[in-house]
Chains A and B, each alone.
Chain A
């Protein structure tokens, strides 16, 4: 299947700093990328949807100024957690899909963010 690479796989940062997470589609053009957050023992919650070349669409309750998403190319989307706080500690997962209507979304490996 298609490969989506997410980096880093884990990161520890100090409160107040910013962290950037990258999501790359390695063997297909991702017209749409999705960013999810998952807290322990909970399901994936969609944070935002990004289409290449346009502004991301954020889900209700997700602060767009705190979670900056850039989808500058068909193979790369980035999520920057700005001024991170301990409550932002979570598992962040991206997924990407191509142009076909019925294509499945493929997930990156996830990034475990710990804010201390």
Chain B
């Protein structure tokens, strides 16, 4: 069983719309959650980190964490074509010596 699950997509949204990316994790006591953006052929770039329940906003990005339901999401408002990339959800689970476990990624395409 995968520890971090994401819909692989592809997810397509029109420019200006809200893109919603979801992620579930299996380790109930996970404490640290991250969203990375990865352009093709490049290494991941940290977009958001979230550690407590609720919403965390940074510009056009909002991360939402619900530990009871074991899911974390990323909302991208006013989506731009430059947001087209693969978005990776990552979790640091308990007892894992701070290793990031990545989901398989969701490919997002923002259509102009």
Contact = CB atoms under 8 A, between A and B. Distances in A.
A63 interface: no
Contacts of B44: 44, 93, 107
Nearest to A93: B43
B99 A43 contact: no
Given A49-B97, A112-B41, A102 B51 contact: yes
Contacts of A43: 88, 102-105
Contacts of B41: 91, 112
Q: Which of A1, A32, A34, A107 has the most chain B CB atoms closer than 10 A to its own CB? A: A107
* Interface size classification for chain B: 20 to 34
Contact of B43 (A32, A34, A104, A110): A110
Contact of A1 (B42, B46, B101, B104): B46
Given A42-B104, A43-B105, A104-B34, A109 B43 contact: yes
Contacts of B80: none
Interface string A41-61: 011101001000000010000
A106 B42 CA distance: 13
Contact of B42 (A32, A105, A109): A109
Q: Which of B34, B42, B51, B103 has the most chain A CB atoms closer than 10 A to its own CB? A: B42
A107 B37 CA distance: 12
Q: Which of B36, B44, B49 has the most chain A CB atoms closer than 10 A to its own CB? A: B44
B48 to A, nearest CB: 10
Interface in A61-116: 91, 93, 95, 97, 101-102, 104-110, 112
Given A42-B104, A102-B32, A107 B99 contact: no
Nearest to A1: B46
10 contacts: A32-B97, A42-B104, A95-B100, A101-B98, A102-B49, A107-B36, A107-B43, A107-B44, A107-B45, A109-B43
